[in-house]
Structure 1
Amino acid sequence: MIAQSPEPVTSFRPIASNERFSRQSQIHGWSQEVLSRAKLLVAGCGALGNETLKNLALLGIGTVGMIDFDSIEVINLSRSVLFRKTDVGQPKAHVAASRLAEIHPEMQVTPMHLDLTSELGAGTISDYDLVLGCLDNIEARWHLNRLCHAASVPWIDAGIEASAGQIAYFDALNGPCYECSMSSSMWQRLNERRSCLLPAQQRAVPRNIATTSIISSLVAALQVQEAVSQLHHRFAPPQTQSKWSVLRSGDRITTRLAPYSISVLHSRRNDVCLAHHDTSIAIFDLEVSPSQISVEQILTYTNMDAVELDWDIAIALECPTCGTNPVCLPSFRVVASDLNCPVCCDPRRPEWQSRITRGSRLATRTLADLGIPPRSYLSLVTNNEHRLHCRLQKTNRMRA
């Protein structure tokens, strides 16, 4: 027996019955205006992402961006409501965007066919109110957490297995983040995936998850419900904000189908979490594209001494027989053929570097050469370890 709610479920405001969102607008405390103005970014357009995107369109979210670097395969069709057989081979993000436009033509959709671990800048994240993670590996979640933290944008992670799933809310400025809750085994898997000893193709091997559309739809519903609650809690009129129950940063909801269970777990902030260590650093804006400015130029302009990267750069490839060949290869662009000498076919050993200093050979290379995507937030450092965050902005000229 369901207990009677102390608040009326519907407000029965005078709404025309033929309005698209009239039924949900009658829910007590509901603000369709909040949803129509909301800007959400969905990272991952697989089985889980499909259900999340579908729900956002049905609810009337005003602006939705979607990111995925993958293309549709036949195996996706049994679990992805937005994909058809004729879509096989097409980019997931673009097909998903076209289907959302059919469901909710007034929705502003922005598909991005890219890899968020290497091609997404935190500035793009900052365009959105909330990010929904529908990812299938730790590396992508780790990167998304860092990007959201840099952009000061909260995010809701979601993950699924065969008959279980969970969502978690993270607002790194106000509590624990995803990285705070990572276990030693998760760190081991992350480090294995990001290993400099492996070429990019081997590091990017996806994890095949046995699952069905049932758990995808269930977890996506929880994720979108939390998104609706967070949006109302942040943007609705004060008199209705209290009607919405929300998760705190670091809270997670787990659910299982065999046996049936659902629970809410709480986590604490890790005082030594590296994602939190530099939140008070000064910020400097540059209106410039990564392809239009070199390391030397940006260091001179900001009066700093080095650019620090979250990834390694191969600055040389050494063959024991033929000698050393200078290069500039971000670790995520190193392929198997790079590790074999083109002359004698012997294995070549990369020399790695993640701090590019003034006057060094790589200082003449552009930021794009180092793998820095547009609208990134850079970490700059002096010889005395004073730090500055530099945000690369949209326009193509440098601010005087």
Structure 2
Amino acid sequence: MNPASTSWLWGVGTIGSHVAAHLARTPAVVRVTLVDPDVYDASNLRGQSIGAADVGRKKVHVQARRLRSIDRGLAVATWDEVVESMPRGQLRADVILACLDSRRARQSVNELAFVLGVPWIDAGVSSEAHLARVDVYHPGKRNPCLECAWDDRDYAALEQLYPCLAGGLGGGEPAPTNASSSLGALAASLQMIECEKLISRSALAADGGTQVLIDVGRHKHYVTRFRRNPRCRLPSHESLTVEPLSTTARDLTLSETFGLARLRREASEVHVAGKSFIRGFTCMGCARTRDAFQLVVDAVRPLCRLCRHPMRAAGLDTVDRVELRTLPAKWLGRNLASLGFRAGEIVTVGDARQQRHFELGGTRNDSR
């Protein structure tokens, strides 16, 4: 057993609220980080492992308190934000456990896990079909990932929320799982059993790309193994070689960032793992436009100075990478923190022939 394992738990709802207590009772786990932006409400009392006093409180704070009450020596950290907005370098661990309700969030976890070389275990339920499942992924060039099993319909449904089962539901409205506490607890137990096998380096640990599914209604057990799809849309299944920087986002300008790779500056471009850049906003009321340059952050929604309606970044105003030659000089002298960068962001600098990857230094609070 690995004597000092660290775990990330993404989502502490129907499944994750049960997983949390299991993590606190696993001797090999010495640090747990909880991620969930939501608050418990009264409807969660029937299916999630909480009490009436927890209604109205942040989910991560409720579960952090619970974990510490089980094991006072356990290190617990919390992030009350969406997966997509988090700096990738902050997310290193021995294992990631995902209990999420959207394809977009799972896609983000899959991407960051393969970038960082961290194994991850996905769990889900279907209340109507009485199913509980886990999927195990091991990053590697020849190993399958979540997107290896996706087709065009999955990508078309990326914006839909659904009840945790691969494949999902039709319609664009958020749908609660309506799963019983017992079904959520079953999925949590399956996930933790695979987690314990993984961190103990057991010979019985599931191979990457393995799905274990329990059909409770029919008393059946299925094991499926997926293969690496050569047409997978994940850009690379290989982990990045990342160079740590002592420089923080407050101390590094955008112009200096383009120079990190020591290539021809005029041909350089910058990309941030898991993030996009906003190049402008459009008012939803009067259609007025405004130039901008910053990383996409979940909370970015400025108000129009003329009509006070919210502004948003239209499709053409959001890009995955930026080239030095396309940026006005007024942005190049700004420090990265003022543009939305945070400690732990993984920044790729390079051109079509060569790229280098850097992780911004500092602590979690340095760029807030």
SS in 1 for 2:227: coil
Higher mean C-alpha displacement, 386-395 vs 219-228: 386-395
SS in 1 for 2:209: coil
1:255 CA drift (Å): 1.5
Residue 386 of structure 1: aligned partner:
354
Alignment of 1:226 onto 2:185: no
Residue 325 of structure 1: aligned partner:
290
1:121 to 1:313, Cα distance in 2 relative to 1, 3 A? closer
Residue 196 of structure 1: aligned partner:
none
SS in 2 for 1:89: coil
Residue 33 of structure 2: aligned partner:
65
Q: Distance in 1 between matches of 2:204 and 2:148?
A: 24
Residue 271 of structure 2: aligned partner:
308
1:219 CA drift (Å): 0.8
Residue 99 of structure 2: aligned partner:
134
Q: Distance in 1 between matches of 2:106 and 2:200?
A: 25
Larger radius of gyration: 1
Equivalent of 1:256 in 193, 215, 220? 215
Q: How does 1:148-159 map to 2 (within 5 A)?
A: 148-159=113-124
1:48 CA drift (Å): 0.5
Q: Is the 8 A contact 2:271 2:321 kept in 1?
A: yes
1:380 to 1:272, Cα distance in 2 relative to 1, 3 A? farther
SS in 2 for 1:148: helix
Q: Distance in 2 between matches of 1:72 and 1:346?
A: 27
TM-score, structure 1 as length reference: 0.75
Alignment of 1:106 onto 2:65: no
Alignment of 1:190 onto 2:149: no
Equivalent of 1:45 in 1, 8, 12? 12
Q: Distance in 2 between matches of 1:226 and 1:348?
A: 42
Q: Distance in 1 between matches of 2:297 and 2:153?
A: 22
1:125 to 1:322, Cα distance in 2 relative to 1, 3 A? closer
Higher mean C-alpha displacement, 88-97 vs 384-393: 384-393
Point out where structure 2 has 5 or more consecutive residues left out of the alignment.
162-171
Percent sequence identity over aligned pairs: 22
Q: Distance in 2 between matches of 1:281 and 1:52?
A: 30
Residue 272 of structure 1: aligned partner:
231
Q: Is the 8 A contact 2:271 2:322 kept in 1?
A: yes
1:73 CA drift (Å): 1.2
Equivalent of 1:216 in 154, 169, 184? 184
Higher mean C-alpha displacement, 177-186 vs 360-369: 360-369
1:96 to 1:40, Cα distance in 2 relative to 1, 3 A? same
The one-letter code of the counterpart of 1:255 is I
Q: Distance in 1 between matches of 2:308 and 2:43?
A: 41
Deviations 1:255-274 (A, max 9, x none): 12222221100101122334
Equivalent of 1:246 in 174, 184, 205? 205
Q: Is the 8 A contact 1:288 1:395 kept in 2?
A: no
Higher helix share: 1
Deviations 1:304-353 (A, max 9, x none): 51112444433234579886421235555477775x78349799884333
1:95 CA drift (Å): 1.2
Q: Distance in 2 between matches of 1:215 and 1:145?
A: 24
SS in 2 for 1:172: coil
Residue 17 of structure 1: aligned partner:
none
Higher mean C-alpha displacement, 66-75 vs 343-352: 343-352
Alignment of 1:358 onto 2:324: yes
Deviations 1:95-118 (A, max 9, x none): 101111112223222222222211
1:192 to 1:97, Cα distance in 2 relative to 1, 3 A? closer
Q: Is the 8 A contact 1:282 1:387 kept in 2?
A: no
1:205 to 1:357, Cα distance in 2 relative to 1, 3 A? farther
Residue 147 of structure 2: aligned partner:
179
Q: Distance in 2 between matches of 1:208 and 1:77?
A: 13
Point out where structure 1 has 5 or more consecutive residues left out of the alignment.
1-30, 194-203, 234-240
Q: Is the 8 A contact 2:258 2:324 kept in 1?
A: yes
TM-score, structure 2 as length reference: 0.81
The one-letter code of the counterpart of 1:38 is S
SS in 1 for 2:132: strand
Q: Distance in 2 between matches of 1:180 and 1:318?
A: 36
Q: Distance in 1 between matches of 2:175 and 2:343?
A: 28
SS in 2 for 1:131: strand
Q: Distance in 1 between matches of 2:18 and 2:118?
A: 22
1:114 to 1:336, Cα distance in 2 relative to 1, 3 A? closer
Q: Distance in 1 between matches of 2:361 and 2:11?
A: 25
